[in-house]
Structure 1
Amino acid sequence: MGQCHSASAASTSRGDDHEEEEEVRFEEDEETSSMKKRCLSMAKEQRSRFYILRRCVIMLLCWQKYDKH
């Protein structure tokens, strides 16, 4: 990404450079997928925490509403 067409065409003409680029892309793909998994896991955890917090607030509001003191 970010390279002009002529630079990418020149690098594909050599076999060794192409193999190294493939390895770098594979490593970057692994890093981005593991980072994506961590972000999704954190988002799921935060969603669960907000759900619990929301249920507690609703329970407290209802308890206060129906309190007979």
Structure 2
Amino acid sequence: MGGSVFSVRGSKVRSWGRWSKHIRQQRTRLYIIWRCTVLLLCWHD
């Protein structure tokens, strides 16, 4: 019972390592878009 939970956790860690780079790229892209929006709004005001 405990072994199956450990194996599932290991697979999740492996998949997370694969997705962490993609998530980081998406987060930086959203951050850049958010910064541009804030600058445009401040400049408009």
Q: Same fold (TM over 0.5)?
A: yes
- Which protein shows a greater Rg? 1
Q: Partners in 2 of 1:39 and 1:20 — Cα distance?
A: 30
Cα-to-partner distance string for 1:15-69 (whole Å, 9 max, x where unaligned): 1x3212111110011000000000000000100xxxxxxxxxxxxxxxxxxxxxx
| Superposition TM-score, scaled by structure 1 size | 0.45
Unaligned segments of structure 2, at least 5 residues = 1-7
Quote the sequence identity (%): 3
Letter in 2 for 1:26: R
Q: In the alignment, which of 8, 23, 26 is matched to residue 25 of structure 1? A: 23
Q: Partners in 1 of 2:41 and 2:18 — Cα distance?
A: 34
- By relative contact order (CA 8 Å, sep 6+), the higher-ranking structure is 1
Unaligned segments of structure 1, at least 5 residues = 1-9, 48-69
- After TM superposition, the structure 1 = structure 2 runs for residues 1-69 of structure 1, keeping only pairs within 5 Å, are 13=11, 15=14, 17-47=15-45
Looking at secondary structure, tell me which structure has more helix per residue: 2
Runs (4+) off by over 3 Å: none
| Superposition TM-score, scaled by structure 2 size | 0.66
Letter in 2 for 1:37: R
- C-alpha RMSD over aligned residues: 1.7
Q: How many residues align?
A: 36
